[in-house]
Amino acid sequence: MQQIAAHESRMIAAIDAAPMLARVERWAAINSGTTNLAGLDRIAAELEPALAELPGEVRRVADSQVTAVAADGSSYEQQFGQHLVLSVRPDAQRRILLTGHMDTVFPADHAFQTLRWLDETTLNGPGVADMKGGIAVMLAALKAFEASPGAERLGYDVLLNSDEEAGSPSSAPLIASLAAGKQAALTYEPAALPDGTLAGERAGSGNYSLVVHGRAAHAGRNPEQGRNAIVAAAALVIGLAELRKPGLAVNPARIEGGSANNVVPDLAIVRFNIRPQTERIAGEFERHLVMLIGRIEQEHGVRIHSHGGMGRPPKPMDDKAQRLFELIRQCGADLGQPIRWQSSGGVCDGNNIAACGVPVVDTLGVRGGAIHSADEYLIVPSLAERAALSALILSRLADGALA
C-alpha cells in the first residue's frame, strides 16, 4: 500500500463538496438535451467561467458537419451545439485528456425537468449523474490539483462536448485530435454501478439507416407492377436479426415509411444499432450486411442505400489500459475507496479515445443510477469521494506513475 504524501493530503483536504453540489443543482436545472441548441448554449455559458477558473485558454469549437437521413429518405445536415475546450500547459512533457459532455437525453419538451431530494444523500434530477455531476467532479479535482506543487509537471486538455448522447458524431474528429499524443485519458461518465465500480472493456456501437426504394402502384388494380418497400424492409429486419451471434448484438429499432392502404409503398427506412465486442466481429458484420442488402434487392426488386456505420469502435482492455486501471485501483485503495471494474455493453467517448491508442478510464464520475430515465439519481457524498480520487490520480500522473 502506497502512503499518501503530505502534499496529496493537503490537496484532498481542500476539496469542498458544497460548491460542487450547488453547481450540479444549477446546471441540472438547465435543460440541455442534445437537440435543444438554445439550452446547450445556456449550459455552455455556465461552464465557460467554471473552466476559466483553471489556467489555460478556454475556447468554443463549432460542430462538425454531420449528415443524417430524414423520414422521407432525403439527407440533411444535422445541427449540434458547440463544444468547449480548455488547454493547459500544451508544451508539458506529460499531457493527458479529460472529457465530459454537457448534453443529456432529455429534450426541451420532456416531462423530467426538475430536481427533488429522495433522501438526505440522494438527489433525483435530469443529468445529475449523467453527467453534470461528473463535470463538477472533474473541475473540482483539477482545481485542487492546480494548487499542488506538482501541477506544473502535467499538461492537459479538457473537452466538454454537446453531442455525446447522440454518439458524438459532430465531436468525433475533435476527440481524435485532442487524444493524439496523450499519455492517458480520464472521462467522467457515472460509475458503472452505484458502488463505484468502473467500466472496463466495452463493446462498440454502430447506427445505420437503410433506405429502401421500391415502386408505387395501385393496391387493387395493378399491385404486381409495384415493388413493396415495406415488405422488403421487413425482410431486411428478419435478415438483420439472423445476424445476431455471441459477441454481436443487432437491434432493429424502427421501420419508417409506407403510404395509404390502397397504394403499394415505394419508400421505407430501416434504422438499427449493432454492438460488436471486437473489431473483427464488426468487420464481419459489414460484409454480411452488404450480402444481405444484395439479396433483398434481388428478391424484392428494390434499391437499398446504406447510411451510417460504426461510430464507437470496441474498447478492449489492453496492457496500457490495465496499467492505468491499476494506478486508479491503488489510488482508491490509499483513499479507502475499493475500486473494481467490469465489462460493459454500453458505449461512450472512451471508445473513441481508446481507438486512438490512448489508455482511458471512462467512468470516473459520480456514483448514482437509473440514468436516461426520470428516476436518475446522484449519491451526493460521491461528489467529494470521486473528486478526491481524481485529484490523487492527477497528482500521481504528474509524478510519472505511467512513465
Domain total for the chain?
A: 2
Tell me the pLDDT band of 368, cut-offs 50, 70 and 90. very high
Q: Please tell me whether residues 153 and 226 are part of one structural domain.
A: no
Tell me the pLDDT band of 3, cut-offs 50, 70 and 90. confident
Q: Which of 312, 328, 361 is the last residue of a domain?
A: 312
pTM: 0.96
Q: Please tell me whether residues 293 and 387 are part of one structural domain.
A: no
Q: Which of 290, 312, 334 is the last residue of a domain?
A: 312
Q: Which of 312, 341, 374 is the last residue of a domain?
A: 312
Residue 151 is given by DSSP the state: G
Tell me the pLDDT band of 114, cut-offs 50, 70 and 90. very high
Beta strands 116-119 and 377-379 are unpaired
pLDDT score of 312:
97
Q: Please tell me whether residues 128 and 231 are part of one structural domain.
A: no
How large is the average pLDDT for residues 3-7?
Answer: 92
Q: Is residue 217 part of a domain?
A: yes
pLDDT score of 187:
98
CA R_g for the chain: 23
Q: Is residue 1 part of a domain?
A: no
Peptide bond before residue 310 is cis, with ω within 30 degrees of 0: no
Percent of the chain scoring above 70 in pLDDT: 100
pLDDT score of 43:
98
Q: Please tell me whether residues 323 and 267 are part of one structural domain.
A: no
Q: Amino acid letter at 384? A: A
Q: Please tell me whether residues 336 and 252 are part of one structural domain.
A: no
Tell me the pLDDT band of 89, cut-offs 50, 70 and 90. very high
Q: Amino acid letter at 189? A: E
- In which element (H, E) is residue 290 found? helix 279-300
Q: Please tell me whether residues 24 and 160 are part of one structural domain.
A: yes
* CATH number of the CATH domain containing 300: 3.30.70.360
Q: Is residue 133 part of a domain?
A: yes
Contacts of 177 (CB under 8 A, 6+ apart): none
Q: Is residue 220 part of a domain?
A: yes
**DSSP helix/strand/coil, 61:** strand
Average pLDDT of every residue of the chain: 97
Phi, psi of 9 (to 5 degrees): -60, -45
* CATH number of the CATH domain containing 81: 3.40.630.10
Q: Please tell me whether residues 323 and 298 are part of one structural domain.
A: no
Q: Please tell me whether residues 21 and 31 are part of one structural domain.
A: yes
Tell me the pLDDT band of 163, cut-offs 50, 70 and 90. very high
* In the predicted structure, residue 1 carries a pLDDT above the cut 60: no
Tell me the pLDDT band of 403, cut-offs 50, 70 and 90. confident
pLDDT in tens, 267-276: 999 999 999 9
pLDDT in tens, 271-291: 999 999 999 999 999 999 999
Q: Locate the DSSP E strands across 81-164.
A: 83-88, 94-101, 116-119, 122-124, 154-161
How large is the average pLDDT for residues 363-386?
Answer: 98
- What is the domain extent for residue 107? 6-203+315-398
Q: Is residue 350 part of a domain?
A: yes
